[in-house]
Structure 1
Amino acid sequence: MSKTLILCDCCNSNPIDPQALSQATGMACSQVHSALCTTQSEQAAQAIAAGDAIFCCAQETAFFDELADSLNTPSPAYLDLRDRAGWSTDTGPKLPKLAALVAEASLQVPATKSLDVMSEGICLILGRDETALDVADMLKDFLSVTVLLPDMQDTPMTRAYDVVLGNLKSATGSLGQFKVRIDALRQLNPAGPGAMTFGSPRDGGISHCDVILDLRGTMPLFPAPQKRDGYVQADPNSPKTVAAAVLQVSHMVGTFEKPLYVRTEPLLCAHSRATQTGCTRCLDACPTGAISPNGDHVQVDPMVCAGCGACASLCPSGAINYDAPPTDFTFRRIQTLAKACLDAGGKAPGLLVVNAEGSEIIGMAARYGRGLPADVIPMEVEALNTIGHAEMVAAMAAGFGKVSILVTPGTDRDVMHSEINLALALVGGCITMIETPDPDRLSDILYGTTASLTVETPVRPMGTRRQITRTAVKALHGGDAILPLPDGAPYGAVLVDTDSCTLCLSCISLCPSGALGDNPDSPQLLFQEDACLQCGLCSNVCPENAITYAPRMNLGNDALSQVVLNEEEPFACVECGALFGVKSTIEKISEKLAGHHGMFQTPEAARMIQMCSDCRVNAQYHSENNPFADKERPRPRTTEDYLSKRRDH
């Protein structure tokens, strides 16, 4: 069954041409209603009962959901055409933008993978004074509460919750699986008459809990504490924040779904090889500490990961990919928006990337201000840092003339800055980061921004992020240019000082992407620039410090094939003539060792340096001081030997 757009002009404030919209999108459109959420609710119910309806209003979703529930029918899909397109003072044509938004809404969103997390309501309250006890008294009927205080004068007489004394030394985990270590731990002794007392202190106490409520008013236990599930921090001097924390914690009981935000491919990771450290981009960017080294690669703790997406944007090899939704779906959304807009007559539209908070700002701008320009198409994502340089240049290549990202609190601005700078170095154009919570200021910026780069023939590249980036940049530049990039960029060349390089080929064995290679028939160091991650491993392992990097994007075809970085004449074995090693290296070794080292004092011994491995073993075996020689092997004993021995006795 095909979907139908259920249109509403919101009391004649949002004019819509259903015939033009249907022709541009290829979808059936209802008549234009004016008050589906009030006086025309019966018509809304009929549309819901018919099924496969897309209500083009996002303001009254709660009402329509209730209506669907009363009809025992699944809730309809929703599409906000009013705030994102209709309510705007821009007199330019809105049909291309409407067509783009409808086309995007028609995409099937992949289901997000998740884990079930169980919380039994075991709550640890960290406090410093009576406030923690008051909060425990409020939560005792909802959670199993333990209060940890550094010390106290008056022992509480209640057993509705537990009180322990001690110093919290460490805490790990997240909702449902926290583990804490407490030193100088003193537990309550409820036995005997009189006031209750605490036992003797002991170090190394270990406990587990589901929820931690931190009322100490000090540094948080975890980095990015607002992103740690199950950890709630509140200022004990602010009754308002304490009350909000109590309400939040009281609901942390039951089974919760924890999204699996990223997908990892450990074999692609360029973090380290042979104890040498290479790429640390994800480790440096992760705000929650969810990523840690694990041998030659990194591992992501899915329970700690908050899904900011910075690691996936920065990963040069594709070892970490965002998966909620998958990265390829984000590229598909971008390309769908661009194609639908251009097919409907749009010219170099702008892409505005927002999160849920950004969508609220757009709504405020539409209701109280100028709204969005007619040529700016908003795209809401779960996490802004999932939009990296690959998505930005792909948008430009798909036909967008400008890309803007509206950042909000919680966005890693440093990561966003670096990705925008990299995208600008790759394609130039108009790619900006907007930092304002003011709806009017947002409108002013967008109305004042014009497209500075347009692609003559839009492309829709596919593949990995690296492949998409290269294809998009090549389409925008239309040639075989070599583009210089900022330091730290994941694209570039390896430069070798041929005077220092001895062709030991240590770099080849550690290269995680296969960008460096050798020639089995000749002493050569080969390099394929397109595969280079600029991870730093080859430079770190080089014993002669002969390797440096040149961050750049080489659009020529030579970047896709192997080129020779260094080569030398092979050395011919003085015994059999077989080629082996590097002539200059063998000559240097002979010069340094012959007559100067205890093993190569004689001309015969020094000559072995210039032999291949087979001839060297043969020469050593037959030499006067054969290192393999041993005393004469004893004759094997036979049956006759045993019989003759018995006869002698």
Structure 2
Amino acid sequence: MLERTLYIDRVGAFALDRLACLRNEYANNACTLCQDACAHEAFVFKQGKLRLSPLCTQCGACMGACPTKALSLYGHSLQKALDFVKKESSPLFTCKGEMPCLGAFSVDEWCALLLEGKNVTCNLLECATCEHNRGGAVEQRIRVRIDEANDFMGKLHKNECISFASQKPKESTRRAFFERFIAPAKFVPSLPEAPRAELKKVLKKTLSASLRVEPFSFLHTKEIAQNCDNCKECVQFCPSNALSYNGDQTQLLFQMGTCIGCGICEAICKKEAIRQVRKAVDLVDFAYDLAVVLMHHDLQVCLTCKCAFSYKGGEKVCERCYTFENEHAQMFVLASQSH
């Protein structure tokens, strides 16, 4: 844990875990979600790596956008919000008091909160004069996520929903609000929780049978074309281990429940064989991280190089040897004629 602290950028109570960041995981990844969400341009690149600058105001508006949960705010957690919902008869979420900006919650986290079985009210009336809500961008993102969470509950045939307050609530104490800006000097953020872990936990209790739903922003599915050559690079570079192989390396497996939709597998595939698709998914597969077979490979030994390869039919020669022989056919002809 001590070594991990070397890769954590902090500004007061806010932290960026660089080891969990997609931009630092894979150089060609183009994720800009935290940068897009920050009104103060606090995220910068230094030597090709994403860093947190002193411009950060610790508002937390960017946190709900990060697919890997690389961003954290001392004193805030989904578990704390869940406990709040359980305790309150009419839960009211506002950026005042102990709550950060409501942009800190992702769609799946709003879903997990609603699955506690209570209607939730959100106060977005402060957004109009908020310095972090430039051009109304933060409020718009919050509303879009909440609308999607309400839609998800409808697909589960649940009546609970999130509504918006029409008038400002009574002022709560400001002490807790200011206390969260003073993180302990030796505070070490814990390892980021697996994305959507709480939602999957609640769904296991909620679902009694398979339920297919249209795709949501936090549900990702893949398919692989027949030109996949079994190079294994998509598996090696997947940051969430959503792609894997069976024991004898003949089946490429995919777990929807762990895929974060980062697109690294698609970017790294030289054959452009793997791609994300939008189709109905079974929430049981998602909740229990069930694996499906994306591709079955018939492994054969190449007659030329004696290495195993994914056989597609015809002569048992791997693509590398076949290409080499064709590109250098003239050379082999000249060599034979010289004797």
Task: Calculate the TM-score normalised by the size of structure 2.
Answer: 0.70
Q: Which aligned pairs between 1:248-647 and structure 2 lie closer than 5 A?
A: 260-271=12-23, 273-293=25-45, 298-301=50-53, 303-337=54-88, 349-356=89-96, 381-400=99-118, 402-407=119-124, 408-409=126-127, 410=130, 411=133, 412-428=138-154, 429-434=159-164, 436=166, 464=194, 466-486=196-216, 489-497=217-225, 499-519=226-246, 521-550=248-277, 554-557=282-285, 560-574=289-303, 580-584=308-312, 586-597=317-328, 601=332
**SS state at 1:513 partner:** coil
Q: How far did 1:430 drift?
A: 4.5
Q: How far did 1:604 drift?
A: 11
Q: How far did 1:416 drift?
A: 0.3
Deviation string, structure 1 residues 5-47 (Cα, Å, up to 9, x no partner):
xxxxxxxxxxxxxxxxxxxxxxxxxxxxxxxxxxxxxxxxxxx
**SS state at 1:538 partner:** helix
Which amino acid in structure 2 is aligned with residue 508 of structure 1?
A: V
Rg (Cα) greater in structure: 1
Q: Which aligned pairs between 1:138-217 and structure 2 lie closer than 5 A?
A: none
Change (3 A) 1:414 1:541: farther
Task: Calculate the TM-score normalised by the size of structure 1.
Answer: 0.39
**2:150–2:162: 8 Å Cα contact kept in structure 1?**
no
**1:270–1:297: 8 Å Cα contact kept in structure 2?**
no
User: Which whole-Å CA distance do the structure 2 matches of 1:475 and 1:510 have between them?
Assistant: 33
Q: How many residues align?
A: 287
Change (3 A) 1:275 1:598: farther
**1:492–1:554: 8 Å Cα contact kept in structure 2?**
no
User: Which whole-Å CA distance do the structure 2 matches of 1:574 and 1:541 have between them?
Assistant: 28
Q: How far did 1:534 drift?
A: 0.3
Deviation string, structure 1 residues 564-613 (Cα, Å, up to 9, x no partner):
2112211224379x6612223945445444354168626999xxxxxxxx
Q: How far did 1:495 drift?
A: 1.8
User: Which whole-Å CA distance do the structure 1 matches of 2:334 and 2:242 have between them?
Assistant: 42
Which amino acid in structure 2 is aligned with residue 322 of structure 1?
A: L
Q: Which aligned pairs between 1:207-246 and structure 2 lie closer than 5 A?
A: none
Which amino acid in structure 2 is aligned with residue 545 of structure 1?
A: E
User: Which whole-Å CA distance do the structure 2 matches of 1:266 and 1:542 have between them?
Assistant: 25
Q: Specify every segment of 5 or more residues in structure 2 that has no aligned partner in the other structure, as ranges.
A: 1-9, 170-192
Q: How far did 1:269 drift?
A: 2.0
Flag the structure with higher strand content. Answer: 1
User: Which whole-Å CA distance do the structure 1 matches of 2:254 and 2:34 have between them?
Assistant: 26
Q: How far did 1:311 drift?
A: 2.3
Deviation string, structure 1 residues 519-574 (Cα, Å, up to 9, x no partner):
57334422222111101111122222222224676432575243321122112243
Q: How far did 1:477 drift?
A: 4.2
For CA contacts below 8 A with separation 6 or more, give which structure has more relative contact order.
Answer: 2
Which amino acid in structure 1 is aligned with residue 123 of structure 2?
A: L
Q: How far did 1:335 drift?
A: 2.9
Q: How far did 1:333 drift?
A: 2.3
Change (3 A) 1:490 1:265: farther
CA RMSD between the two structures = 3.6
Q: How far did 1:420 drift?
A: 1.1
User: Which whole-Å CA distance do the structure 2 matches of 1:399 and 1:596 have between them?
Assistant: 65
Q: Percent identity?
A: 21
**SS state at 2:115 partner:** helix
**SS state at 1:404 partner:** strand
**SS state at 2:300 partner:** strand
